[in-house]
Amino acid sequence: MEKITFFQRLQHERDKFENLLNRVGFSRQLTMKGVLGNLSIKDLLADVLSREQFIADRMSEIANGEAYAPSTSFTALENFQKHNGYPDYESNLLEKDKPNHMVVYKFKNIGMDDIVEQELATYISILDLFQQLTHNQCLDHDLFHRIGEHTYKPYRRTSAEINRWLKQIASEQ
């Protein structure tokens, strides 16, 4: 895949995600529980933020010539989360497709506006790092796949949950 093609795909997926969040709109709905179990849109956005931060940090390591290896023991997994503030999403020991409740708890007392601000800054960081990295670095580190796993795939999962919830609310009214 070419960088420009991937960049356009990423931007397209991001636009769809942002449009949905803008459509949901006002902050009361963003913090209402029940979107996915007891989670709110705010909680799901915190999970998206942590996944984006994970890949942004891995991309920064690549740009700086540092190495990353997924956690292979539960002790290493726990230490990774303590050190970084988010799970090692590429460890085989972690369930990848569900929101991480430790992340949700971490962001529990942080306001929606702050989460949105951090998430936007992290997304911009991903874009900046992607532009800095060469095509060969992207290929060598499987970044087209990995960035998608931690950006637009979570956008799609979160969007599906939000749309399901919106349909449920509409049918109840």
The model's pLDDT over 88-102, given as tens digits with 9 standing for 90+, comes to 999 999 988 888 889
For residue 112, the SS3 value is helix
Q: Two tokens at 168?
A: 């449920």
Write down the domain spans for the chain: 3-64+97-172
Rounded Cα–Cα distance for residues 117 and 123 (Å): 10
pTM, rounded to two decimals: 0.93
Q: What is the pLDDT of residues 59-85, one digit of tens each?
A: 999 999 999 999 999 999 999 999 999
Q: What is the CATH number of domain 3-64+97-172?
A: 1.20.120.450
Angle between helices 143-150 and 41-63 in degrees, nearest 10? 160
Low-confidence ranges of the chain (pLDDT < 50): 27
In terms of Cα–Cα distance, which of 42, 17, 5, 2 is closest to 123? 17
Neighbours of 137 (CB within 10 A): 14
In this structure, what DSSP letter does residue 36 have?
B
